[in-house]
Amino acid sequence: MGNADNMNPPPPAIPPPQPFIKSLKNTLKETFFPDDPLRQFKNQPPKKKLALGLQYIFPILEWGPRYTLQFFKADLISGITIASLAIPQGISYARLANLPPILGLYSSFVPPLIYAVMGSSRDLAVGTVAVGSLLTASMLGNVVNALEEPTLYLHLAFTATLFAGLFEAALGIFRLGFIVDFLSHATIVGFMGGAATVVCLQQLKGILGLDHFTHATDVISVMRSVFTQTHKWRWESAVLGCVFLFYLLLSRFFSKKKPKLFWISAMAPLTSVILGSILVYLTHAEKHGVQVIGNLKKGINPPSIMHLNFDSRYLTTAIKTGIVTGIISLAEGIAVGRSFAMFKNYNIDGNKEMIAFGMMNIAGSCTSCYLTTGPFSRSAVNFNAGCKTAVSNIVMAIAVMITLLFLTPLFHYTPLVVLSSIIIAAMLGLIDYDAAIHLWHVDKFDFVVCMSAYIGVVFASIEVGLVLAIGLSVMRVLLFIARPRTLVLGNIPDSKVYRNVDQYQNAHNVEGILILEIDAPIYFANSSYLRERISRWIDDEEDRIRLSGETGLQYVILDMSAVGNIDTSGISMFDEVKKIVDRRGLKLALANPGAEVMKKLNKSKFLERIGQEWIFLTVGDAVGACNYMLHTCKSKLNSDEKYSNNV
Amino acid sequence: MGNADNMNPPPPAIPPPQPFIKSLKNTLKETFFPDDPLRQFKNQPPKKKLALGLQYIFPILEWGPRYTLQFFKADLISGITIASLAIPQGISYARLANLPPILGLYSSFVPPLIYAVMGSSRDLAVGTVAVGSLLTASMLGNVVNALEEPTLYLHLAFTATLFAGLFEAALGIFRLGFIVDFLSHATIVGFMGGAATVVCLQQLKGILGLDHFTHATDVISVMRSVFTQTHKWRWESAVLGCVFLFYLLLSRFFSKKKPKLFWISAMAPLTSVILGSILVYLTHAEKHGVQVIGNLKKGINPPSIMHLNFDSRYLTTAIKTGIVTGIISLAEGIAVGRSFAMFKNYNIDGNKEMIAFGMMNIAGSCTSCYLTTGPFSRSAVNFNAGCKTAVSNIVMAIAVMITLLFLTPLFHYTPLVVLSSIIIAAMLGLIDYDAAIHLWHVDKFDFVVCMSAYIGVVFASIEVGLVLAIGLSVMRVLLFIARPRTLVLGNIPDSKVYRNVDQYQNAHNVEGILILEIDAPIYFANSSYLRERISRWIDDEEDRIRLSGETGLQYVILDMSAVGNIDTSGISMFDEVKKIVDRRGLKLALANPGAEVMKKLNKSKFLERIGQEWIFLTVGDAVGACNYMLHTCKSKLNSDEKYSNNV
């Protein structure tokens, strides 16, 4: 070995032992503070630290002082634009959640104010969302019937909102934001598409003017409910619905063609509401089967903190609803905030946003609001209208407040069917065919996950779809860990580079040496697999050699570059592989094990068992040393033969 | 670029598109048939294939024809030895499961015969296990009281055994054996230790001669139950128990010291039973508070197939019990089989073993047996007694059959307290302090998992401990995926090798270039983290450069060697990283992306966006190209300066 070693750089050293506390601290920091949020606090005087701390919690203190009149002009326009969208959407989504329509307006007043102070996105517009509303309706509806016990149902909705807020804030405070990352893009595309389909199907009730309708959300129940009542369909309401839907879709079509005309589509819901209300008022259609909203109470949000219901009979439901709707709305809100931040080149701290969303919902639950987040459609309108800061949310809140104080009677004659059209138009935008097709082209498994979520939501229930998609995603990650790639490496001609022989046509095997790359950390979940797979590679290689008549296999080199970590099961695996290799009369060498792996192999005495001289810095070094030994042996053998011949 | 390129080997090519079906087939093969069990069938005539197939299902056909008289001598001795252990242990464990003692004998008759025909381990001795028995008692006991409804309880135990067998066989047939791998070594050490502690605590009932005892298994309930009944403690039984426990432990101590005396410890339980029975018979101690087994029915296993209970009220419990006990006993049986195979240098196919275990339990459930597997203690005795093949199991079964037919009356006077001593002695061997200490030294997290399992089992319940340990293990794997390592690489002097600067003291940064290694596949679960972490590395590097006054950062090279796969969220992450890098006026290069990653980056058009010329075969090539450009620019700048100076 000595000579071979001298030609090469020294092999990897065993890292010096770190104190347990220090390595624990490092691990915790990497796990919970990967973005190092406290970086700016370093080396600052205490006063500055306090100011920075306050700015960290209330970003408005950071951008507020730099606010200009020009910014305000932009924010005023975008604020009024999103208010015109928020009012009809708010009423529609509250109805979707089986809650009094006025709650939709309440929810567009308090939460945007909270977000304006605590949120760090400049483009997010706060409000209720269709999917969250539907989830609330379906999860609470399993326990309490909204028609029979409307007060209890309302109070449970507040309680669920409180729990959603607490859960969101807790995720942010304990820096567990990565839990949201387990909702993959594919899951969200499928789930949102499915939820949008379900929401559209639910609108058939309003469009067809039906009084009775199924409580189930799956397509089969809905279709059965629709087609067993054909005699009750109301053509007046259907015609009105189709006309407005056509108008809304047309306006969106134009806005998409010319982004400058975004305000046509932004204003369309409000104009639909106004036109619809005038039409009903003039024709008295409310007496001919066109249902209307009816009375809305004047005045801003009444407090609801005393209505929070912690009755043990409903507590589990409230907590479950809170957690599920909370995480779903977080996923949407964070994704929306991030994507607009990416456009405008600023940064968003996910955990900080979660705290803002949480506080917004906690405050909302005490002031007669239900679940709010940052809906994509509204934020996109806000962005297109040229908003500069969260002041546009404040403008929207003030516009909604004025509506609540003075304009609610105007909605008396608003036909429900217009609200249904507004919901359908918004939902059709959420079904993202292109994204699904893209998934199919790039990654088949992601497509399967996406379609499972979609089919689960549409044919079973929202919860089933979500569980299915998350289950599949997690299973995929676990399966990756359980079945890591192992690759055979070959030498790229005229270099010391070794690469996968399947990927690189010109890489060729080194005679007598099998080089394997292991492409994952070695854990209990894959150690048996790796042992079997490595022994199969050796079998395959020996078969190949037997057929080709090359020199027999002598060395097995494991390239450990990609092995980030190892646990005790993994170390036992190495012991077993060493035995397998020894039994076949081969020698085992390791190339480029990482610091963590070296430390554990050393602590478990595996380094002693394999011999420190069999650890190399690079695959090239390992091959060099093996070749050196191969040829020394051969020439020794040759000289021995000569010697014996001579004798 | 042109010049720089010419000096280096060609960059990685995009792999040719594979037909979807072919790549699906490959993935399925790697996932479910990693050990390629059909390898031996290749290129064989049909008749040979049939013979091989039968030998595959019934290994006895493979080794049977080579069986010799010498083998039989060895198997006879070891078979009788394990029978002497099986009889008292079987009775003890059946009592632990709250089942009639005779079931322990039945379970050592049929299942070993099945295993001898279908199993592929030569050293495994089949029988019931303490942990499985206790789990059966605690899970079925939640629904049916064994004392009040013994018949129902017995029938449910058969049904649970049937489901355990079906589940085990299904895992094997569908090649899902890797599910067992999710029970890590650390989990098993902690769980087994906890279960052994719980079993020992339960024996206090027998040792102290108590009639009433808690049904809970946690240490607090047991201690309360013991110490509230101090007035009912029976000294006779306690003395007897301690004496026999001392004898059993002493015999094990000697056997450990001198492995040749293994038979002392193997025979000790039977001698305890014989001595205890004689003592009770002579002193009539059964009338003085020493409980005895009483009548055991003569005759071999009665059929129980008609007693299987599929009543919907109990079905869930039976299935749940079957699955949990099935997977726990599989984990033990497979681990035992594998470790002895490793000693004797032969190979065991985990999935095939699962089918054997499954058939053994299915057959057992129809012939009045309950859950059996390959217990460690019994197999170790078998191994030490020099067994050669599974014939030792047949010998044991015949010995048990003889006992059942003729010798059961002899157990009438066997004191229960001796059985308790036998259980305690066996259980103390399962508490593996050394393994726990080893875990602490090598891997702190594994130690935490192990202790959680232990504490969960001892202080809460067996199920809680198991769920806790598996949950923690899976969470660890997910956390690894969610928080992959990223490392800064530096150049090792006088080489083209780049290694982690933290691990290698002599590796030094390349001026103007940041080289990062990503150590995991890039998935939805880590894509946000990686984006933030990479951007933090860039921040850190720029801070460092500002302080040291080096040339400003110009290039970011991502070493992709360890990135085994990528999904659509990961690709979006690359798009975002590209934007972040562009925004800072830097250039992004990728080194050594794998085939799968190249394919997906190409399909999603990211390769076009980044530019094919920014993909390199090695980090060295990438650095070379960047350096070339850096210096060309510099010299160009210099010549421009000169030019302007001259003008």
Concatenate the DSSP letters of all residues of A135-178 into one string. Answer: HHHHHHHTTS-TTT-HHHHHHHHHHHHHHHHHHHHHHHHTT-TH
Q: Is the dihedral of CA B536, B537, B539, B544 positive or negative?
A: positive
Closest to B531 (Cα-Cα) out of B490, B493, B583, B466:
B583
Q: Are A516 and A487 in contact (CB under 8 A)?
A: yes
d(CA B417, CA B292): 8
Interface test mutation site (partner B, options A502, A519, A579, max chain B beta carbons within 10 A): A519
Report the pLDDT value the prediction gives residue A647, as an integer from 0 to 100: 45
- Of A398-412, A507-521, B280-294, B307-321, the one with minimum mean pLDDT is B280-294
Measured between CA atoms, the residue of chain A closest to residue B493 is A9
pLDDT at B296 over 80: yes
d(CA A411, CA A293): 7
Residues of B whose CB is below 8 A from A543: none
Report the pLDDT value the prediction gives residue A2, as an integer from 0 to 100: 40
Report the pLDDT value the prediction gives residue B331, as an integer from 0 to 100: 86
Report the pLDDT value the prediction gives residue B627, as an integer from 0 to 100: 87
d(CA A254, CA A589): 66
How much is the mean pLDDT over chain B?
A: 86
Residue A614 half-sphere exposure, CB side, CA atoms within 13 Å?
17
Model confidence at B9, pLDDT cuts 50, 70, 90, reads low
Q: Are B356 and B115 in contact (CB under 8 A)?
A: yes
Model confidence at B642, pLDDT cuts 50, 70, 90, reads low
Model confidence at A3, pLDDT cuts 50, 70, 90, reads very low
Place of tokens 């200009």: A68
Report the pLDDT value the prediction gives residue A517, as an integer from 0 to 100: 92
pLDDT at B106 over 90: yes
Measured between CA atoms, the residue of chain B closest to residue A537 is B35
Model confidence at A5, pLDDT cuts 50, 70, 90, reads very low
Provide the 10 A C-beta neighbour count for residue A562. 25
pLDDT at B66 over 80: yes
Q: Are B554 and B587 in contact (CB under 8 A)?
A: yes
- Of A1-15, B342-356, B487-501, B590-604, the one with minimum mean pLDDT is A1-15
Judge: B34–A519 Cβ closer than 8 Å, yes or no.
no
The amino acid sitting at B91 is I
* Distance spanning both ends of chain B, measured CA to CA: 30
Judge: A441–B603 Cβ closer than 8 Å, yes or no.
yes
Selected residue with higher pLDDT from A402 and A461: A402
Model confidence at B349, pLDDT cuts 50, 70, 90, reads confident
Q: What is the mean pLDDT of residues B305-320?
A: 91
Interface test mutation site (partner B, options A343, A443, A508, A577, max chain B beta carbons within 10 A): A443
d(CA B370, CA B71): 30
DSSP string, A235-269: HHHHHHHHHHHHHHHHHHHHHHH-GGGHHHHHHHH
Burial group, residue A483, by CB count within 10 angstroms (0-12, 13-18, 19+): buried
* Distance spanning both ends of chain A, measured CA to CA: 30
Greatest mean pLDDT among A361-370, A598-607, B229-238 lies in: A361-370
Read off the pLDDT of residues A273-283 as tens digits, 9 standing for 90 and up: 899 999 988 98
Greatest mean pLDDT among A374-378, B301-305, B627-631 lies in: B301-305
pLDDT at A4 over 50: no
Read off the pLDDT of residues B413-444 as tens digits, 9 standing for 90 and up: 888 888 889 888 888 888 888 989 998 988 88
Report the pLDDT value the prediction gives residue B233, as an integer from 0 to 100: 84
Rounded alpha-carbon distances, angstroms, from residue A73 to A22, A262, A345: 52, 18, 22
- Of A99-113, A508-522, A623-637, B438-452, the one with minimum mean pLDDT is A623-637
* A29 close to B (CB below 8 A): no
Model confidence at B332, pLDDT cuts 50, 70, 90, reads confident
d(CA B214, CA B479): 39
d(CA A128, CA A112): 11
Judge: B478–A483 Cβ closer than 8 Å, yes or no.
no
pLDDT at B200 over 50: yes
| Window 233-252 of A, Cβ < 8 Å to B | none
Judge: A567–B446 Cβ closer than 8 Å, yes or no.
yes
Measured between CA atoms, the residue of chain A closest to residue B439 is A568
* A594 close to B (CB below 8 A): yes
Interface test mutation site (partner A, options B528, B577, B615, B621, max chain A beta carbons within 10 A): B528
Provide the 10 A C-beta neighbour count for residue B62. 14
Spell out the residues 6+ positions from residue A414 whose beta carbon is closer than 8 angstroms to its own.
Answer: A91, A273, A276, A277, A280, A292, A293
- From A35, A478, A579, residue closest to B477, measured CB to CB: A478
Please, what are the domains in chain B?
Answer: 72-478 (no CATH), 484-646 (3.30.750.24)
Residues of B whose CB is below 8 A from A523: 184, 476-477, 480
pLDDT at B72 over 90: yes
Q: Are A610 and A588 in contact (CB under 8 A)?
A: yes
ipTM score of the complex? 0.80
Report the pLDDT value the prediction gives residue A341, as an integer from 0 to 100: 84
DSSP H/E element including B241: helix B235-257
Q: What percent of chain B has pLDDT over 70?
A: 95
- From A178, A482, A583, residue closest to B482, measured CB to CB: A178
pLDDT at B646 over 80: no
H runs (alpha helix) in B33-101: 46-57, 60-63, 69-96
- From B181, B442, B444, residue closest to A524, measured CB to CB: B181
Judge: A480–B481 Cβ closer than 8 Å, yes or no.
yes
Model confidence at A437, pLDDT cuts 50, 70, 90, reads very high
DSSP H/E element including B354: helix B350-366
Q: What is the mean pLDDT of residues B528-532?
A: 87
d(CA B182, CA A569): 11
Spell out the residues 6+ positions from residue B315 whose beta carbon is closer than 8 angstroms to its own.
Answer: none
What number of residues does chain A have? 647
Measured between CA atoms, the residue of chain B closest to residue A15 is B503
Judge: A483–B34 Cβ closer than 8 Å, yes or no.
yes
* Token duo for residue A406: 């003075």
Selected residue with higher pLDDT from B631 and B110: B110
Spell out the residues 6+ positions from residue A276 whose beta carbon is closer than 8 angstroms to its own.
Answer: A240, A244, A414, A415, A417, A418
- Of A397-401, B136-140, B290-294, the one with minimum mean pLDDT is B290-294
Spell out the residues 6+ positions from residue A317 whose beta carbon is closer than 8 angstroms to its own.
Answer: A139, A140, A142, A143, A156, A160
Q: Are B618 and A497 in contact (CB under 8 A)?
A: yes
Measured between CA atoms, the residue of chain A closest to residue B562 is A562
Residues of A whose CB is below 8 A from B479: 31
Report the pLDDT value the prediction gives residue A642, as an integer from 0 to 100: 53
DSSP string, A47-99: HHHHHHHHHHH-THHHHGGG--HHHHHHHHHHHHHHHHHHHHHHHHHHHHTTS
d(CA B524, CA B573): 9
Read off the pLDDT of residues B564-620 as tens digits, 9 standing for 90 and up: 888 888 898 899 899 889 988 899 999 988 888 888 898 888 988 888 889 998 899
Report the pLDDT value the prediction gives residue A163, as an integer from 0 to 100: 96
Read off the pLDDT of residues A79-137 as tens digits, 9 standing for 90 and up: 998 998 899 889 989 988 999 999 999 999 999 999 999 998 999 999 999 889 988 99
Q: Are B370 and B107 in contact (CB under 8 A)?
A: yes
Report the pLDDT value the prediction gives residue A644, as an integer from 0 to 100: 53
Judge: B567–A446 Cβ closer than 8 Å, yes or no.
yes
- Of A470-484, B26-40, B374-388, the one with minimum mean pLDDT is B26-40
- From A31, A476, A528, residue closest to B181, measured CB to CB: A528
Model confidence at B6, pLDDT cuts 50, 70, 90, reads very low
Q: Are B324 and B160 in contact (CB under 8 A)?
A: no
* Token duo for residue B184: 């890590």
| Window 206-235 of A, Cβ < 8 Å to B | none
Judge: A181–B441 Cβ closer than 8 Å, yes or no.
no
Judge: B477–A342 Cβ closer than 8 Å, yes or no.
no
Judge: B571–A520 Cβ closer than 8 Å, yes or no.
no
- Of A69-73, A210-214, A355-359, B398-402, the one with minimum mean pLDDT is A210-214
| Window 96-155 of B, Cβ < 8 Å to A | none
- From B445, B485, B525, residue closest to A477, measured CB to CB: B525
Spell out the residues 6+ positions from residue B576 whose beta carbon is closer than 8 angstroms to its own.
Answer: A342, B531
Q: What is the mean pLDDT of residues A200-215?
A: 83
Residues of B whose CB is below 8 A from A34: 483, 529, 532-533, 536
Closest to B157 (Cα-Cα) out of B295, B313, B300, B317:
B317
pLDDT at A69 over 80: yes
* Token duo for residue B320: 């749940």
| Window 258-287 of B, Cβ < 8 Å to A | none
Backbone angles phi, psi at B486, to 5 degrees: -125, 135
- From A187, A476, A481, residue closest to B477, measured CB to CB: A481
* A603 close to B (CB below 8 A): yes
Buried-state track A563-581, b at ≥16 Cβ within 10 A, e below 16: bbbbbbbbbbbbbbbbebb
The pTM of this model reads 0.78
Model confidence at A167, pLDDT cuts 50, 70, 90, reads very high
* B429 close to A (CB below 8 A): no
* Token duo for residue B333: 């049986």
pLDDT at B635 over 70: no
DSSP, res B65 = G
Q: What percent of chain A has pLDDT over 70?
A: 95
- Of A34-38, A320-324, B586-590, the one with minimum mean pLDDT is A34-38
| Window 314-343 of B, Cβ < 8 Å to A | 342
* A439 close to B (CB below 8 A): yes
- Of A335-349, A604-618, B348-362, B566-580, the one with minimum mean pLDDT is A335-349
DSSP H/E element including B486: strand B486-491
Read off the pLDDT of residues B242-252 as tens digits, 9 standing for 90 and up: 999 999 999 88
Distance of CA A328 to the CA centre of its chain: 9
Output the furthest CA–CA distance in chain B (Å, rounded).
Answer: 124
Q: What is the mean pLDDT of residues A24-44?
A: 76
Buried-state track A224-253, b at ≥16 Cβ within 10 A, e below 16: ebbeeeeeebbeebbebbebbbebbbebbe
Q: Are B582 and B612 in contact (CB under 8 A)?
A: no
Model confidence at A516, pLDDT cuts 50, 70, 90, reads very high
Measured between CA atoms, the residue of chain A closest to residue B8 is A495
Model confidence at A638, pLDDT cuts 50, 70, 90, reads low
Classify A17 as helix, strand or coil.
Answer: coil
- Of A467-481, A578-592, B80-94, the one with minimum mean pLDDT is A467-481
Report the pLDDT value the prediction gives residue B368, as an integer from 0 to 100: 94
DSSP-based helix, strand, coil % in chain A, nearest 5: 70, 5, 25
Q: What is the mean pLDDT of residues B71-75?
A: 92
DSSP, res B405 = I
Interface test mutation site (partner A, options B191, B444, B449, B519, max chain A beta carbons within 10 A): B519
Classify A490 as helix, strand or coil.
Answer: strand
* B604 close to A (CB below 8 A): yes
DSSP-based helix, strand, coil % in chain B, nearest 5: 70, 5, 25
Judge: A477–B478 Cβ closer than 8 Å, yes or no.
yes
Q: What is the mean pLDDT of residues A326-339?
A: 87
CA dihedral A48, A53, A55, A57 (to 10 degrees): -170
